Amino acid sequence: MTKKAPRKAVLGRAVTAAVATALGCAGLVALPSAASAAAGDLTVQYHTGSTGSDQAEPWLKVRNSGSTSVALSGVKVRYYFKADTASATYRFACSWAVKGCGNVTGTFGTLAKPTATADRYLEIGFTSGAGSLAAGADTGDLQLRFYRSDWQSLNQNDDYSFGAAQTSYANWSKVTAQLDGALVWGTAPTGNDPGDPGDPGDPGTPGGSLFDDFNYSAYNDPKIAAHGWTVRSNSGGPGVPGATWAPDKVTFPISGGNAVMNLETSTSGTGESTKQTEVLTKALKFRNGTYAARVKFSDAPKSGPDGDHLVQTFFTINDLKAPMADDYAEYDFEYLPNGGWGEPSNILYTTSWETYNPDPWQAVNQHTESRQSYAGWHDLVVTIDNSSIRYYVDGQVFGTHDAAYLPERPMSINFNQWLIDLAGQSSTSPRAYDQQVDYVLHVKDQVLTPAQVAAKVAAYRSAGTTFEDTVPGA
């Protein structure tokens, strides 16, 4: 797999958004009692919109009972239920919402500790478009529903969060609410704790995880291939025509007490002198879930004159089977320390791709950018569920992209550093740039907060685990 030719991230044509939600395998779990968050408290009210057998209709209101405004993008509400069969899958729909159904997300997960009345949950979230909830205000109606994918009857009477007698809104403690990852309302099924970052971080959670601390001796360490990685040497784009992808420029020094992967890119101003670097997974088996890496971007070269149009990356991708094929997918963090693609100086892009045509160039994507320096270490997280793609930088939401750009097929995980062109400077003096990666993490079918990512990485390191891959093949 190689990344496609360089481009400016722009929308090429309109795309109809279609949200197709299906059962996830998340193992995120919940606190046995309500707790207070520093930023404020939440209360969840519930009434059932239907007691019928074809679909469940949990209607909800979320109220800010604290004293400060709350960003709804940090709120997660869970409704717990018992699957009718072990193999049953479910779909989510929003019938109507005061905040707008387009700003309401719904994903399904599996409890780590099933009980007699709950082994699944529906997690409700909000996009940034939902705005904030002022102190004392509520969201208004969230008229939600879910049903079996095969439209077989479902039994709500054995569902933990269901209340047949709740025909008008009232506080309902059998639905939980989290604010920025901390539980602030409700009682989860016994033994399950959505506010505890340690539980989703445990190795071996349902769905599988990939973790790599990049503890290798050199680019040709046999463990690299054994662990599913390829250090690229084949020719082709992206980058400067005539450039070489040089495996020996990938090294594994110690930084801050941890082994890191160092990608070096160098040039003397010609294509033949340009050495670029890329490391990617051999398998295309990663789709929904959480992707995270700690990456060190560089504004200045480690040697020689500055100014080249460099791209430093962390991304997922699959292959474009035909121009404008709609099953293509790519999700990028791309840092340009010296600009490029028409930008005059440093800029960080996050881009979610639906498809593209390489010639003539046409792109269908959604992007977010920030024009400032990102030199130094940064925690990068992207989460993909059945309703949206969300990018985080250093624990803060950087961009939220729409359901139209969700992946249809599994992808690889990639890091590379390359030159867009040689127009940034005319010097023929040798120069070299470094990008470093501390670790990479993927958790299949689970949407983790940045805090939960940090806890999971800490748990691996505390246990002395430098590599794990329990993600099944596609």
Q: What is the pLDDT of residues 363-409, one digit of tens each?
A: 999 999 999 999 999 999 999 998 899 999 999 999 999 999 999 99
Q: Best-predicted range by mean pLDDT among 32-46, 147-161, 331-345, 445-459?
A: 331-345
CA atoms of 212 and 466, how far apart (whole Å): 6
**pLDDT averaged over every residue in the chain:** 87
Is 38 a residue whose pLDDT tops 50?
no
Cis ω before 114 (30° cut-off from 0): no
Q: What was the pLDDT predicted at 40?
A: 46
High-pLDDT (> 70) share of the chain, %? 88
Of 83-97, 168-182, 325-339, 364-378, which range is least confident?
Answer: 83-97
Is 50 a residue whose pLDDT tops 90?
no
CA atoms of 471 and 438, how far apart (whole Å): 20
Q: Is residue 294 very low, low, confident or very high in pLDDT (cuts 50, 70, 90)?
A: very high
Q: What was the pLDDT predicted at 207?
A: 67
Please choose, from the candidates 120, 71, 65, 127, the residue with its C-alpha nearest in 3D space to the C-alpha of residue 102: 127
Q: What was the pLDDT predicted at 2?
A: 35
CA atoms of 134 and 400, how far apart (whole Å): 22
Is 215 a residue whose pLDDT tops 60?
yes
CA atoms of 251 and 247, how far apart (whole Å): 9
Is 203 a residue whose pLDDT tops 70?
no
Is 425 a residue whose pLDDT tops 50?
yes
**Burial class of residue 116 in the structure, from the number of CB atoms within 10 Å of its CB (0-12 exposed, 13-18 middle, 19+ buried):** exposed
Q: Best-predicted range by mean pLDDT among 6-10, 154-158, 437-441?
A: 437-441
CB burial of 452-465 (b: ≥16 within 10 Å; e: otherwise) equals bbbbbbebbeeeee
| Contact (CB, 8 A) for 27 and 440 | no
Report the 10 Å Cβ neighbour count for 440: 25
| Four-residue CA torsion sign, 268, 271, 272, 277 | positive
Of 2-6, 159-163, 223-227, 283-287, which range is least confident?
Answer: 2-6
Is 35 a residue whose pLDDT tops 60?
no
Is 255 a residue whose pLDDT tops 70?
yes
Is 452 a residue whose pLDDT tops 90?
no
**Burial class of residue 322 in the structure, from the number of CB atoms within 10 Å of its CB (0-12 exposed, 13-18 middle, 19+ buried):** exposed
Is 205 a residue whose pLDDT tops 70?
no
Average pLDDT over every residue of 161-183: 93
Is 446 a residue whose pLDDT tops 60?
yes
CA atoms of 151 and 54, how far apart (whole Å): 7
Please choose, from the candidates 312, 309, 238, 280, the residue with its C-alpha nearest in 3D space to the C-alpha of residue 411: 280
**Burial class of residue 288 in the structure, from the number of CB atoms within 10 Å of its CB (0-12 exposed, 13-18 middle, 19+ buried):** buried
Q: Is residue 13 very low, low, confident or very high in pLDDT (cuts 50, 70, 90)?
A: very low
Is 135 a residue whose pLDDT tops 60?
yes
CA atoms of 387 and 385, how far apart (whole Å): 6
Of 42-46, 125-129, 132-136, 219-223, which range is least confident?
Answer: 125-129
Q: Is residue 110 very low, low, confident or very high in pLDDT (cuts 50, 70, 90)?
A: confident
**Burial class of residue 120 in the structure, from the number of CB atoms within 10 Å of its CB (0-12 exposed, 13-18 middle, 19+ buried):** buried
Is 199 a residue whose pLDDT tops 70?
no
